[in-house]
Structure 1
């Protein structure tokens, strides 16, 4: 956090090179979040680049009320949501690479993990944008409810409600379709 503030001060003082530190620190987690929102690697790369440009231009607006990472994510996610509204993003499936699905090299386990990941991606893709984003921030980025609340500019109660509704919708979908996530249909 303190190194973020130092880099921000340097950028605002005219040292544009200091912004590279911010990009390097946040590009991978931000890309992972946006990729799960878009389901398209090229679109995700474009949106991450655009988001970092937007953050750069708005850096002077950061008021240090919350963590810089929450502010950065909020700017980036708001940018993505604006783009979704403009383009009415079409959801595309992204292949789960074997390297992310493998803990053992047995072909059956690889196949089952890939199928489970595909089903989870499909379940998440059925959610409205706001609920999908909250699910991803909570379970992929492992952010706390308060961090998500700050990031998406919703009350803590609203974040909890949206998360509850999203999980309920996913449970109902699993009950209809069946599949790997039977534990969801049991209310877990």
Structure 2
């Protein structure tokens, strides 16, 4: 954390090269978060670049009152949410084919794709705030405290929203069936 504050101070003092340290430290984590929101690698790359530019211009607003990581996530996620509101839709695409070449048996590949498609459909049934908390918790593996700071709600609200989101997903599975219902009935 001290290192990040030093980088911020260097950038604000005119050393623009110090910003490359911040980019290198956070670009992959931001990409993973934004990819989880967009489900489109190209859009995620564009949004990460735009968000990092926005962070650069807002560095002076960082007040050292929380972790720098939470602050940078908040700026990036707010930027994405603004873009989503402008477009009024989120593009949903499977990215598994472009991200990995799988040499497994065709049936296993099919089942993995089906599972991912079902999971995306389940996630799409959630309100935006609950979907975001699920992504931050399980994709980015952030703590409840970090999520709380990031989305600016109490830790208890994060816990409640996470619980409600998982409950809604379970109810959807029970009601509509699908891959996850088949798996849960096998136990």
- TM-score, with normalisation over the residues of structure 2? 0.88
Which position in structure 2 is the counterpart of 1:72? 72
Partner Cα distance (1:157, 1:183) in 2:
33
How many residue pairs get aligned? The number is: 185
The question of whether the paired residues in 1 share the 8 Å contact of 2:36 and 2:139 is answered with no
- Provide, for residues 78-107 of structure 1, a one-character-per-residue CA deviation record: whole Å limited to 9, x for no partner: 1111222222123322332376585x7233
The worse-fitting range, judged by mean Cα deviation, of 1-10 and 153-162 is 1-10
Contact 1:55/1:76 (<8 A) preserved: yes
The answer as to whether partners of 1:171 and 1:184 remain within 8 angstroms in 2 is: no
Structure 1 portions without partners, runs of 5+:
none
In the TM superposition, what whole-angstrom CA distance separates every residue of 1:50-84 from its partner, at most 9, and x where no partner exists?
Answer: 11111111111112222111110011111111222
Q: 1:69 to 1:183 in 2, by over 3 A?
A: farther
Look up the match of 1:151: 150
CA distance in 2: counterparts of 1:56 and 1:83, whole angstroms = 18
Which residue of structure 2 lines up, in the alignment, with residue 175 of structure 1? 174
Describe the shift of the 1:74–1:40 C-alpha distance in structure 2 as closer, same or farther (beyond 3 A): same
Q: Counterparts of 1:185 and 1:95 in 2: how far apart (Å)?
A: 26
Taking structure 1 as reference, are residues 101 and 133 closer, same or farther at Cα in structure 2, changes over 3 Å only? farther
Secondary structure in 2 matching 1:121: helix
Match of 1:132 in 2: 131
Q: CA RMSD in A?
A: 2.2
Whole-Å separation in 1 of the counterparts to 2:49 and 2:176: 37
Contact in 1 for aligned 2:40/2:95 (Cα 8 Å)? no
Distance 2:11 2:20 in 1: 10
* Alpha-carbon spacing, 1:98–1:85, altered in 2? closer, same or farther (3 Å): closer
1:175·1:185 contact (CA, 8 Å) conserved in 2?
no
- Taking a change above 3 Å as real, the CA distance of residues 18 and 135 of structure 1, as seen in their structure-2 partners, is same
Which residue of structure 2 lines up, in the alignment, with residue 88 of structure 1?
Answer: 88
- In terms of mean alpha carbon deviation, does 44-53 or 86-95 score higher? 86-95
- Cα shift at 1:8: 1.3
Alpha-carbon offset, residue 181 of structure 1: 2.3
Runs of 4+ aligned residues of structure 1 deviating over 4 Å after TM superposition are 98-102, 183-186
Find out whether 1:110 has 2:109 as its counterpart: yes
